[in-house]
Structure 1
Amino acid sequence: MHNFRFYKKHSWLLLLMFSVIEISAQENPPIPIEVEVRTSRNLNFGAFTVGDAGGNVSVSYDDQRTVNGDIFELNFGEPISAALFDVYANPGTIIQIQQMGDTELTNGNGGIIYLSIDSFSTGQRTFVTQSPNAQTPNEVFVGGTLTIPADNSGNLPGRYNGTFTLNFIHQ
């Protein structure tokens, strides 16, 4: 009988060890996803002049300006730049950038031009954050295109300012 008790004690100890291992192997709860976006630099198309036929001025995500149509680049004034957004999120967060349509920009004299956002340093509108932690920003450079209509009214010249909206949606 003495051997039976010894065997029973070891079985109980072995069962207790497996219970502890099962508890410690449980998965941690999911990390809360928080995304913060800060504007670090504004989109700037620089100075240019437009003829009667209108055209387009584009600034790519890497600060390169191109023009087409009846538009002539001027090399003075504020520097050309893509917009820069600092995105703070946990590493590996999937983020989709959603634009809320074209933006109408006015100059205060009745002139209207249109802005569309069409160039992203992420290559596409959906990307995965790569920074090593949530305190290091993921830099997202954004470029766009101005569509300038043909205008003979004289109210097109001027300085245009405006705001565009992008939603950064985490998945």
Structure 2
Amino acid sequence: MWFHFKLKKTRFWFLFFILFTLMAEAQENPPVPIQVEVRTSRNLNFGSFTAGTSGGNVSVSWDDQRTINGDIVELNFGQPVSAALFDVYANPGTIIQIQAYGETELTNGNGGTIYLTLDSFNTGQRTFVTQSPSTQIPNEVFVGGTLRIPSDNSGTLPGRYQGTFRLNFIHQ
């Protein structure tokens, strides 16, 4: 009888180890779905300036610093200079690439045309990893750019310019 009891105990431990091993090899949960939402919090604004006949460039960096070169004079009134601000909501650790598209044409309604290039990002590069601890807290992305004012503006340059630039926020 003693031998029979011992055999049952051995089968029990053998069965226990098999079940434990099977549970250790269970499939992991699927990855958390990646959802990215981008909201515009502030528009890109170059402030007030006047341009001569030779044209030039006006740049606003991601940290709201304006630089001017060429035949352009800075004016210190009107709208404040500011980089664009986008709030990016995503899971912590999401890799995001910002895709910008060349030069954008801006018009004033009087026949004037200037050109915008987005070239300054607070993320340093156009690819970054979200750092906010939750999807409820935004990752702030500041974007600056450069206006190219052509030299052959033939008197149509004055005015308020508007246009739309396109950025894609691609998650990986």
TM-score, normalised to structure 2's length?
Answer: 0.93
* Structure 2 residue matching 1:69: 3-state secondary structure: strand
Distance 1:106 1:148 in 2: 11
Match of 2:19 in 1: 16
Mapped to 2, the partners of 1:54 and 1:13 lie a distance apart of 82
**Offset at residue 151 of structure 1 (A):** 2.9
Q: Which 5+ residue runs of structure 1 have no aligned equivalent?
A: none
SS of equivalent to 1:145: strand
SS in 2 for 1:52: strand
| AA matched with 2:10 | Y
Aligned length: 169
Q: Give the equivalent residue in structure 1 for 2:52.
A: 51
* Partner deviation per Cα, 1:22-41 (whole Å, 9 max, x = no partner): 33xx4221111111000000
Q: Secondary structure at the match of 1:18?
A: helix
For 1:17, the aligned partner's letter is: F
Corresponding letter in the other structure for 2:135: A
Equivalent residue number for residue 85 of structure 2: 84
Given that 2:112 and 2:153 are in contact with CA atoms closer than 8 Å, whether structure 1 keeps it comes out as no
Partner of 2:8: 5
Q: Deviations over 1:76-97 (max 9, x none)?
A: 0010000000000101111111
After TM superposition, the structure 1 = structure 2 runs for residues 1-171 of structure 1, keeping only pairs within 5 Å, are 1-2=3-4, 3-23=6-26, 26-151=27-152, 153-171=154-172
* DSSP-derived class of the 1:92 partner: coil
Deviations 1:17-63 (A, max 9, x none): 3333333xx42211111110000000000000111110000000000
Secondary structure of the equivalent of 1:50? strand
Residue type of the alignment partner of 1:130? Q
Is the Cα contact below 8 Å between 2:53 and 2:71 reproduced in 1?
yes
Tell me, which stretches of 5 or more residues in structure 2 are unaligned?
A: none
Once the two structures are TM-superposed, the CA of residue 100 in structure 1 deviates from its matched residue by: 2.1
Superimposed CA distance per residue, residues 114-169 of structure 1 (whole angstroms, 9 cap, x where no aligned partner): 00000000001111110001111000000000000113521111111111110001
Please tell me whether the aligned partners of residues 43 and 84 of structure 2 are also in contact (alpha carbons under 8 angstroms): yes
Q: Which moved more, 1:152-161 or 1:128-137?
A: 152-161
Range that drifts further, 1-10 or 139-148? 1-10
Task: Give SS of 2:16's match.
Answer: helix
What letter is aligned with 2:19?
Answer: L
RMSD: 1.3
